[in-house]
């Protein structure tokens, strides 16, 4: 297509509409970015959870992995020249560590670009479409003849999602003293126990559990038969997971609802007069609320696992 900036870019709009139909709220793309970061960090085997802990070569590889993982998620056809063919339009996929700082190769000239950016530290990600025409590009090139978007080009981006919330890595949101306490022990089970003590009322992903456990059987460290659920029940802490009754209980207490592969821990207390109109759930014949600092620890009720959610 010869680009005429005075006319509506029908190809770009066709790609835009198709992507929005596939992922209206951006949840699928957001999960792809989260999954790619987690693949690179490989927390289960390395214990890493910060972007800064990656080697330079790993950071460079991020764009390639995002390109591959997006194609797997959405089943894009291969392009003849560029990465994808979407609605019979050649589309090049690019990722940059700075917003819209994409490096555009000569073969993408005049073509549609799908550009992504994300920051785990900021908890944000963006994706947009732009056509790589001269009017949108800086004149200078690097040694590989790649160009970048000009100020006008950045203003011309058709954003699919901008500064959307990235699925959270809870370890990046905890105070350093909590991180130190979690990783202090040489026991994977004790580290997982401390994670659920310290990161209450927050969604905790399987990947975070794997990063803390540093073991192949990391899911065993959560369960009731000797895992964190058993270890923490005496302190009043329950761990909601991917069961329908767990989701209902979390919602009933006004907590974040754990999705497939997620957990939410919280300390409970039997309802007393000082709890006022706090939300409660009924278990073992008692009404339970989210414990306050005023409540002394007491054994938590047993929470059966009923109706697993599909993962």
User: What does the pLDDT look like over 146-158, one tens digit per residue?
Assistant: 999 999 999 999 9
45-52 mean pLDDT:
96
182-197 mean pLDDT:
97
Is residue 71 classed exposed, middle or buried when 0-12, 13-18 and 19+ CB atoms within 10 A define those classes? middle
Given a cut of 70, is residue 80 above it in pLDDT?
Answer: yes
**Look-up of token digits 């759930």:** 281
Contacts of 229 (CB under 8 A, 6+ apart): 222, 223, 238, 239
Contacts of 99 (CB under 8 A, 6+ apart): 117, 126
Task: Reduce the DSSP state of residue 156 to 3 states and report it.
Answer: coil
**Look-up of token digits 């198709």:** 18
Q: Are 70 and 29 in contact (CB under 8 A)?
A: yes
The pLDDT of residue 309 is 62
Closest CA to 35 of 1, 68, 5, 11: 68
**Look-up of token digits 């029908």:** 10
Given a cut of 90, is residue 139 above it in pLDDT?
Answer: no
Q: Are 2 and 140 in contact (CB under 8 A)?
A: no
| pLDDT confidence band for 307 (50 / 70 / 90) | low
Residue 86's DSSP bridge partners are: 89
185-206 mean pLDDT:
97
Residue 114's DSSP bridge partners are: 93, 129
| pLDDT confidence band for 7 (50 / 70 / 90) | low
Given a cut of 80, is residue 143 above it in pLDDT?
Answer: no
Indicate the average pLDDT of the chain: 93
Structure tokens at 189: 């089970």
pLDDT tens digits, residue range 89-108? Answer: 999 999 999 999 999 999 99
How would you classify the pairing of strands 84-86 and 286-290? Answer: unpaired
Structure tokens at 50: 């910060």
- A 10 A CB-CB count for 23 gives 19
Q: Are 151 and 130 in contact (CB under 8 A)?
A: no
Residues 224-237, buried b or exposed e (16+ Cβ, 10 A)? eeebbbebbbebbb
């Amino acid at each position: 297509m010869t680009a005429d900036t005075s006319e509506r870019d029908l190809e770009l709009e066709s790609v835009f509409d198709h992507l929005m139909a596939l992922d209206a709220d951006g949840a699928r793309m957001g999960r792809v970015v989260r999954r790619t970061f987690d693949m690179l960090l490989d927390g289960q085997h390395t214990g890493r959870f910060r972007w800064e802990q990656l080697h330079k070569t790993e950071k460079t590889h991020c764009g390639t992995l995002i390109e591959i993982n997006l194609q797997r998620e959405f089943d894009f056809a291969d392009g003849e020249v560029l990465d994808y063919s979407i609605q019979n339009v050649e589309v090049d996929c690019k990722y940059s560590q700075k917003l819209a700082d994409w490096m555009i190769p000569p073969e993408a000239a005049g073509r549609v670009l799908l550009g992504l950016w994300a920051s785990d530290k900021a908890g944000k990600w963006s994706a947009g479409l732009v056509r790589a025409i001269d009017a949108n590009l800086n004149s200078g090139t690097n040694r590989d003849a790649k160009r970048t978007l000009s100020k006008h080009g950045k203003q011309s981006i058709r954003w699919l999602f901008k500064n959307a919330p990235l699925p959270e890595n809870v370890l990046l949101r905890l105070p350093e003293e909590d991180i130190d306490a979690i990783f202090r022990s040489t026991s994977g089970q004790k580290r997982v126990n401390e994670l659920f003590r310290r990161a209450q009322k927050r969604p905790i992903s399987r990947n975070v559990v794997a990063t803390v456990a540093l073991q192949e059987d990391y899911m065993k460290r959560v369960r009731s038969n000797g895992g964190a659920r058993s270890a923490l029940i005496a302190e009043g802490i329950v761990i909601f997971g991917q069961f329908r009754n767990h989701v209902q209980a979390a919602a009933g207490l006004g907590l974040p609802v754990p999705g497939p592969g997620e957990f939410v821990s919280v300390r409970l207390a039997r309802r007393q007069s000082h709890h006022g109109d706090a939300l409660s759930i009924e278990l073992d014949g008692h009404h339970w609320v989210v414990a306050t600092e005023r409540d002394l620890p007491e054994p938590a009720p047993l929470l059966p696992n009923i109706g697993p959610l599909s993962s």
